[in-house]
A and B are shown apart, each in its own frame.
Chain A
Amino acid sequence: MYQFLKNLDRRWIFLSMLLAVAIPILMRIAFPEVVSKQAKMVFDAVESIPDGSNVLLSFDFDPASEGELLPMAQAFTRHCSAKGHKQYYMALWPLGSPMVDKSLDTIRAEYPDLEYGIDYMKFDYKAGGEAVIRMITTDLRGMFPLDSRGVSLDDIPMTKNIKNIQDMDLIINVSAGDPGTKQWVQFASTPFGITTVSGCTGVQAPQMYPYIPKQLAGVLGAIKAAAEYEAAIDEVYPEIAANPKAQEAKRRMGPQLVAHSLMVGLIIIGNCIYYVGRKRGDV
């Protein structure tokens, strides 16, 4: 047994992981989510500002992180739309622009009463990362003379009176790396005190928690927090709870449980093999 496990081809582990993820998807295993304090803080940040507030949503991720971050990005969009907030979308990653388009598609399909230019709008991608953030904190038009449709900001009702992002009541950043949440904290929330919440990849999450609560009003770390955020929205908005499309993160928690259990089992087996090997003098 020891020899078999010690010399096991790693591709059998890949196969077992594939099955651990695939079977719960095919069997549609899902579990109820309990809303954690972190997810509640993010929910409250969006919920507590008055209806119709200005919210800047920066989607700083690309298709490589879509599976992890798009569910929470869509949850932010639905929550803001249900609250009637004015949504200003932008992306600091060149491939983030198509991610924003997916949210705009959601608004058009699920909230047909909301109108482009009055309730939501999109800025195109600009290169520069932190330099873009730094500039729009003082001069929005200097960086974005036009929206993504090529219309001057002065001709769009919801941007006509916006001078810079200090006019925003909340910044929501969905981040997969650099530029992302760290830059929004460094150049917007800390120096100008703009309330900011973040949804980020699991890799980034432990680096973002120290910013809570003074520099960030809340952080959603990876798909688990996204599922909790969806659950928090469902409690208050039954029409969103009834929408199967709005349960994407919750749906992905079934595979998570099985795959994590497998991972824990593999770590225990790996350690056992190591200790047995050390005892036998193989290591």
Chain B
Amino acid sequence: MKKENQSNGLIWAVVFAIGAIMLIWSMSTSRTGQVWVTPVEHAFTETGVDEDGNAQWASIDAADATVGDIEWTTYSVVPDSQLTPELMESGTVSLSWSRTIGLWLAAIFTLFILSFLVGDNPAYKFAEAMVVGTSAGYVMVIGLWDVFVPNLLGKLMPGLVQSFALPGIEGSHQEFWWLYFIPAILIVMLLFQLMPSGGWISRWPIAFFIGITAGYRMIGYVEADLVAQIKAGIEPLVAFNGDGGFALWPTVNAFLLTIATLAAMVYFFFSIEHKGLVGKTARVGIWFLMITFGASFGYTVMGRIALLAARLEFLFGKWLHFIPSHIDFSFAAHLDWIILLQLM
């Protein structure tokens, strides 16, 4: 245990030392972790009304805007490569504190999460809790405004919802609008799960959802995975080109498809003992399954490395400015870095 703690301390010291050197070096040579923005003015003026009585608006130069026109400002991020001292002195760009703080938080939380690889620690737990909490809150708000309000309240009380939240929806009831009372009642029943007594009431909507989902999925699987896949598996074993000539590789493919499908199915057929011909066929089936699992593993590795590469690009690019946001592929153009790494 003592040896492991010493090892932990050494690894942490190395990681912090490398991180601190990179950060100090980057801050001394560039605007590390700073986000600079330039304002973009927008203005619209009313040009008249259309045949439905709706106001028509046209974009105008913000400098020409007068009282009654609509104006607002958005801010575009200026890439570090374009941020010259002349541009900064001209006053057309400014440091965005909100975005800078956001960038630092993103970088710090990325490092917190990656710190789990060294060992479980409070920083990782804090970042994990933040991700879960933020995601849950975001999903709740999205669910409320994108689903609950337009698809339920908007159907039951269209006039009210149109006046206070969604002016785009129809202000009058649709045909059979009262059917939406059924999901509303199911929602209320579901909330009984939170009551100390009467929890059984929530089982009814849960049973309803499970039944609906099972029904939906069964239809989907039978149609797309069973029938359509059997149909796709029935292919002529000998393939021909468009001009009637023998096609070697499509024929090999067709043979492989047939042999692999049958052999894999025999492996999962447990009503007969896997001996003799059945056993040998099942063995071939295992080999095909192993090849599939190997392909899956290779793909999974590729996916995980892509995620790590994306986070490192963020840390090295947007945060530390070691690499530009948009990289060209001219290898010789970046000899500076190669030389630097060799020196290191």
A126 at the interface (CB under 8 A from B): yes
Residue pair B147, A27 in contact (C-beta under 8 Å): no
| Closest partner residue, chain B, to A127 (CB atom) | B147
| Closest partner residue, chain B, to A191 (CB atom) | B223
Q: A9-B7, A68-B307 are in contact. Are A260 and B302 (CB under 8 A)?
A: yes
Contact of A26 among B168, B303, B308, B337 (CB under 8 A): B337
Residue pair B299, A126 in contact (C-beta under 8 Å): no
Task: Please give the distance in Å from B59's CB to the nearest CB on chain A.
Answer: 11
| A: contact size bracket | 35 or more
Bound: A251/B300 CA distance, A: 19
A236 at the interface (CB under 8 A from B): no
Q: Which residues of A contact B316 (CB under 8 A)?
A: 22, 25-26
Q: Chain B 286-327 against A: per-residue CB contact (8 Å), 1 yes, 0 no?
A: 000000100110111111011111111100100000110011
Q: Which residues of B contact A203 (CB under 8 A)?
A: 296, 299-300, 303
Residue pair A26, B221 in contact (C-beta under 8 Å): no
Q: A94-B143, A222-B303 are in contact. Are A66 and B310 (CB under 8 A)?
A: yes
Total count of chain B residues near the partner, CB < 8 A: 62
Residue pair A206, B341 in contact (C-beta under 8 Å): no
Task: Please give the distance in Å from A186's CB to the nearest CB on chain B.
Answer: 3
Interface of B is mostly: helix
B191 at the interface (CB under 8 A from A): no
Q: A26-B322, A185-B224, A190-B223 are in contact. Are A260 and B305 (CB under 8 A)?
A: yes
Task: Please give the distance in Å from A98's CB to the nearest CB on chain B.
Answer: 9
Q: List which A7-23 residues lie within 8 A (CB) of chain B.
A: 9, 11, 14, 17-18, 21-23
Q: Chain A 192-217 against B: per-residue CB contact (8 Å), 1 yes, 0 no?
A: 00000000011101100011001100
Task: Please give the distance in Å from B341's CB to the nearest CB on chain A.
Answer: 7
Q: A146-B166, A203-B296 are in contact. Are A28 and B323 (CB under 8 A)?
A: yes
Q: Which residues of A contact B119 (CB under 8 A)?
A: 11
Q: List which A24-72 residues lie within 8 A (CB) of chain B.
A: 25-30, 64-68, 70
Bound: A252/B306 CA distance, A: 7
Residue pair B150, A146 in contact (C-beta under 8 Å): yes
Bound: A97/B313 CA distance, A: 23
Task: Please give the distance in Å from B230's CB to the nearest CB on chain A.
Answer: 11
A272 at the interface (CB under 8 A from B): no
Bound: A213/B278 CA distance, A: 31
Residue pair B307, A186 in contact (C-beta under 8 Å): no
Which segment of A73-81, A149-157, A161-169 sits at the interface?
Answer: A149-157
Q: Which residues of B contact A30 (CB under 8 A)?
A: 329, 331
Residue pair B228, A190 in contact (C-beta under 8 Å): yes
Residue pair B229, A210 in contact (C-beta under 8 Å): yes
B135 at the interface (CB under 8 A from A): yes
Contact of B168 among A94, A155, A247, A263 (CB under 8 A): A155
Bound: A154/B169 CA distance, A: 10
A224 at the interface (CB under 8 A from B): yes
B232 at the interface (CB under 8 A from A): yes
Q: Which residues of B contact A131 (CB under 8 A)?
A: 212, 216
Q: List which A238-283 residues lie within 8 A (CB) of chain B.
A: 244-245, 247, 250-252, 255-256, 259-260, 263
Q: Which residues of B contact A151 (CB under 8 A)?
A: 168
Q: Which residues of A contact B221 (CB under 8 A)?
A: 186
Among B142, B170, B306, B308, the most chain A Cβ lie within 10 Å of the Cβ of B306
Q: List which B166-198 residues lie within 8 A (CB) of chain A.
A: 166-170
Bound: A152/B154 CA distance, A: 13
Contact of B228 among A9, A94, A215, A222 (CB under 8 A): A215
Q: A146-B168, A221-B299, A244-B327 are in contact. Are A94 and B138 (CB under 8 A)?
A: yes
Task: Please give the distance in Å from B158's CB to the nearest CB on chain A.
Answer: 10
Q: Which residues of B contact A158 (CB under 8 A)?
A: none
Please list 19 pairs of residues, one from A and one from B, whose beta carbons are closer than 8 Å in the complex, sorted by A's number: A23-B341, A26-B316, A27-B337, A28-B323, A65-B307, A67-B310, A68-B310, A94-B143, A152-B168, A190-B223, A203-B303, A215-B224, A221-B299, A222-B299, A223-B303, A244-B326, A255-B309, A255-B312, A263-B301
Please name the 9 residue pairs, one residue from A and one from B, whose CB atoms are nearest each other, closest first.
Answer: A67-B310, A202-B299, A186-B220, A244-B326, A202-B303, A190-B224, A186-B224, A223-B306, A67-B307
Q: A126-B151, A215-B224 are in contact. List 17 more A-B contacts (CB 8 A).
A: A25-B312, A25-B323, A26-B341, A145-B154, A145-B169, A147-B168, A186-B221, A187-B220, A191-B223, A202-B298, A202-B301, A203-B300, A214-B231, A221-B299, A222-B299, A252-B309, A256-B302
